[in-house]
Amino acid sequence: MNIYIGWLFKLIPLLMGIICIALGEFVLTGSGQSEYFVAGHVLISLSAICLALFTTAFIIISQLTHGMNKFYNRLFPVIGYAGSATTMIWGWSLLASNNVMADEFVAGHVIFGVGMIAACVSTVAASSGHFLLIPKNASGSKSDGTPLQAYSSTIGNCLIAVPVLLTLFGFIWSVILLRSADITPHYVAGHVLMGLTAICACLIGLVATIVHQTRNTFSVKEHWVWCYWVILLGSLTIIFGIYVLISSDASARLAPGIILICLGMICYSIFSKVWLLALVWRRTCSLANRIPMIPVFTCLFCLFLAAFLAEIAQTDMAYFIPSRVLVGLGAVCFTLFSIVSILEAGSAKK
């Protein structure tokens, strides 16, 4: 990879994170209304995902340009995990007071869910520490065995366990919230947390794919199963969002329904990464360099929808939160474009 292109792909996640923080701060200073509080805090929290994606980009690009660096392999996942832990603590702190307001309740749960996604993405960074082994293993056969440089099966299983455990935790928590969906803050927080949990579940497939390809244990059986898994979760999240929108006339349905649809778009962006790694594993794919267009389209979907909703929000504040949050989700999708492009450069056979 060209060193200047490499730096561009490293900077994209940081720039998107800065945009999320700047827009979030701008929204927070706009008014003291609850909609501004929720939208501003959620936008700022999305920078944690961008930071985690930056650590992933840095680790992979550094290997492509300079070879493996053990120091980077340890440092950058720690940075990502620190950002995710800080975000989860921040979200929990909003929920910890004795008299939690409705806006704090919703924002706290969403921010905690964003922190869980950031932790899963940081695990992608940790699992990518031996990324150069993937194209090497792909050019050989399974009978070659696990490379000596690869991490052990125990470490690999621990890496996969991180998104699995966070997915289970998020799913249980969202179900508990939805059991009291007659309370509006529980209704909103439960639905959005369920969508965030779906993204964590998608990242199980990505981490498992990277781990197994690095260890040369990527089986024929799972070659496409993770692709089906991610595309299914993304589709179900979108369908769930549409169901939320059409199942009621209450204005409270608008924010979670719309956001669920765009969280499904992020699942599709993750699908592009899993699909790419499957397509180029021990085969040549002439269309591999087109796959990075998927997160570009999902990004545009989020941004265009945000523009329309921003106009509607001038007369109906029920659309205010999704119109702002969707900008941050679009930034995350564009950050995923840089990651998919890096994977394509590092693993696709030209």
pLDDT at 264: 97
Tell me the C-alpha distance between 145 and 114, whole Å: 37
Tell me the C-alpha distance between 166 and 181, whole Å: 22
Tell me the C-alpha distance between 19 and 174, whole Å: 29
Tell me the C-alpha distance between 154 and 109, whole Å: 32
Radius of gyration of the chain (CA): 20
Sort residue 134 into left (φ over 0), alpha (ψ -120 to 50) or beta: alpha
Within 10 Å of residue 304's Cβ, how many Cβ atoms? 12
Extract the tokens encoding 177. Answer: 């919230």
Query: At 312, which amino acid appears?
Result: I
pLDDT at 220: 82
Burial (CB count within 10 angstroms: exposed 0-12, middle 13-18, buried 19+), residue 97: exposed
Burial (CB count within 10 angstroms: exposed 0-12, middle 13-18, buried 19+), residue 295: buried
69 — pLDDT class (breaks 50, 70, 90): confident
> HSE (CB half, 13 Å, CA atoms) of 171?
12
pLDDT of 117 strictly over 60: yes
pLDDT at 347: 64
Percentage of the chain beyond pLDDT 70 is: 98
Averaged confidence pLDDT in the chain: 92
DSSP letter for 197, please: H
350 — pLDDT class (breaks 50, 70, 90): very low
pLDDT tens-digit series, residues 270-306: 999 999 999 888 777 777 788 999 999 999 999 999 9
User: How does 98-115 read in b/e, with b if 16+ C-beta sit within 10 Å?
Assistant: eeeebbbbbbbbbbbbbb
Tell me the C-alpha distance between 233 and 11, whole Å: 29
pLDDT of 231 strictly over 50: yes
What is the full DSSP assignment across 276-300? HHHHTTTS--TTGGGTTHHHHHHHH
User: Which residue has 């389209």 as its token pair?
Assistant: 297
Nearest to 268 by CA among 243, 246, 293: 293
pLDDT at 345: 78
Contacts of 70 (CB under 8 A, 6+ apart): none
Q: Are 21 and 303 in contact (CB under 8 A)?
A: no
Q: Are 261 and 242 in contact (CB under 8 A)?
A: yes
Extract the tokens encoding 230. Answer: 């991610």
pTM confidence score: 0.95
Tell me the C-alpha distance between 195 and 244, whole Å: 12
Nearest to 208 by CA among 147, 280, 127, 272: 127
Contacts of 185 (CB under 8 A, 6+ apart): 102, 105, 106
> HSE (CB half, 13 Å, CA atoms) of 322?
29
